[in-house]
Amino acid sequence: MRMSGALRRSRGRDPLGLRRALSDRLLPALVAAMALLGALALAGARGAADLSGRWQSGAAAAITVQLPAATGGEKLERALAALRALPEVEAARAMDQARLAALLRPWLGEAPALPLPVVIELHLKHLPAAPDALTERIAQAVPDAAVEAHGVWVARLVAVARSLQGIAMAVLLLVAGVGVAVVAVAVRAGIAARREAIAILHDLGATDTDIAGRFARRVAILVGGGALAGTLAAAPVLAGFADLAAPLLGGQPAGSVLALPWGSLPWAELALLPPLAAGIGWLTAQITVRRWLRRLP
C-alpha cells in the first residue's frame, strides 16, 4: 500500500485522530441551532431597543392638559398650581405658544388670528396604575380642561420593550452557557475516545499546551463553522421579522424577498457571532482538556 504525501502529512498533523473523535456533524449542528437562537435573541434585543427609543419621545409628556384658548395670566397660574399639587405630578409646564404654533403650522398654515389652546405638559413621578382615575382627578382639579393620557400608554409600551430587550440579552447569555456545556461534553467524549492516544503523546513529551491546543483548534473550527451556518440561516428569518415590524417603525411592508429590509438587520453584531462562538469553544476546550490533563504526572 502506498500513501500519498499529502494524506500522510494530513494524518501526521492529527495524531490524536480528532477528526473522528470530534466529528464534523453533531457538534456543528448543535452549535448552528444555538447560533440561530442567539441571532434571534440578538436581533430581538436590537429591535426592542429601536422601538423603545422611538417611542421614548412620545412618552416624554405622560399627560397633556388643554385649556381653552386665551386662558392666561392668573387662571393659567391657578391651573398650574392645582396640577402641581397633585401627588403624582413631578412637573407641570405650559407649552410655549410660539412652539405650539410652529408644531401646528404644517396643518394650519400661517394663521396667527386662529386662537390656539393653552397646552400644559405633565411629567409624572410614576406611571399610574389607573390612568383613567388620574384623568378624572385632573379634570376635577382644573375645570374646563381636556385631558389626554396617551403618553401613559406609550410609556407602558416602552417599559415592555425594555423588558423584552433584557429578556433577549438573558436568552443570549443562556444560549452561550448551554453552548459552553455542549462543547465541554463533546470534548470530554473526545478525551474518553482518545484517552490512550493522549497518554502516548504525554509519555512522548507533549506538553499540556500542545495537547489542549490540538483539541481547542479542532473545536474552534467546528463551533465557528456551526455558528456561521446558524447565523446565515437566521438572516432571512430576521429580515421577515423586520418586515413585519416595519409599520411600527413608520415604514411599509415589502412586496418581495429581495425587497425585505435586509439593511436594517444588525449585521455588525451578527458578524461577531461566529468568531465569538469559536472563541468560546476554543476557551472551553482549553479549560476542559487542561483540567483533565492535570491527572497525568
- Residue ranges in contact with another protein by CB under 8 A: 1-3, 8-9, 11-12, 15, 17, 20, 196-197, 200-207, 210, 297
Angle subtended at Cα 31 by Cα 26 and Cα 35, rounded to the nearest 5 degrees: 150
DSSP state of 127: -
Minimum distance from CB of 19 to another protein (Å)? Answer: 10
CA–CA separation, 222 and 21 (whole Å): 12
Nearer to another protein, 16 or 34 (CB): 16
Task: Locate the DSSP E strands across 95-215.
Answer: 118-124, 146-148
Sheet holding 63-67, edge to edge: 89-94, 118-124, 63-67, 146-148
Nearer to another protein, 167 or 287 (CB): 287
Minimum distance from CB of 297 to another protein (Å)? Answer: 5
Minimum distance from CB of 204 to another protein (Å)? Answer: 5
Nearer to another protein, 21 or 62 (CB): 21
Residue of 179, 176, 178, 206 whose CA lies nearest to 194: 206
Cβ neighbours for 43, distance < 8 A, ≥ 6 positions apart: 234, 238, 241, 242, 265, 266, 270
Nearer to another protein, 74 or 196 (CB): 196
Minimum distance from CB of 25 to another protein (Å)? Answer: 19
Grid coordinates of 106: 404644517
Backbone angles phi, psi at 121, to 5 degrees: -90, 130
Nearer to another protein, 110 or 196 (CB): 196
